[in-house]
Amino acid sequence: MKSTTIRTSLLVALALTALSFSGCITYPQTSTTSPNPRRQLPPIEYFADDNGDGILEPILLEKEPEPRQGTEQWTRDFYGTIKYPALARENGIQGIVMLAVLVDETGKVLDADIAKKLFKDCDQEARRAFLSATQQGYTPLARGGVAVKFKMHYPVGFWLD
């Protein structure tokens, strides 16, 4: 009995130690509150050309476009792919990379540029993981019954615990 208690205590201590050395990568959530304000990500912003002049302007959506594989699978794809860059971890770099993602009328992701930089390795990793997870694209965004090209500013957080 005593050895079981000691073994359990050691396992708990190891698990807590491992968690304290691991990094967290976060993504936008629908909740506007966060128990840790430094980890609160800005909402995803959407832009579309509503009047046909070729200029993408900010828009409000009742329903956001969804990844074709579904939000749950996209989340598994994204978090199964993204890695906290070693150099960023070693240097204590944390914060938010903002991706500017361009999606065509069919829902195909055309590109993901870096709209707000954090650290070169984090910027590249956020872009790589996002493009990998969105290979299937998004459901098309319809405005006035017509599918339109859109852009979104998508925040990706890198945090050290």
pLDDT tens per residue, range 6-63? 333 333 333 333 333 334 455 454 333 444 545 889 999 999 988 778 899 999 998 8
DSSP, collapsed to helix, strand or coil, labels residue 26 as: strand
DSSP, collapsed to helix, strand or coil, labels residue 105 as: coil
**Which residues, in sequence order, are bridge partners of residue 101?**
112, 152
Distance from chain centroid for Cα 85: 15
Q: What is the pLDDT of residues 57-90, one digit of tens each?
A: 999 998 899 999 999 999 999 999 999 999 999 9
Q: What is the per-residue pLDDT for 14?
A: 33
Mean pLDDT of 83-110: 97
Cβ atoms within 10 Å, residue 65: 18
Domain locations in the chain as residue ranges: 23-160
DSSP 155: E
Q: What is the per-residue pLDDT for 116?
A: 98
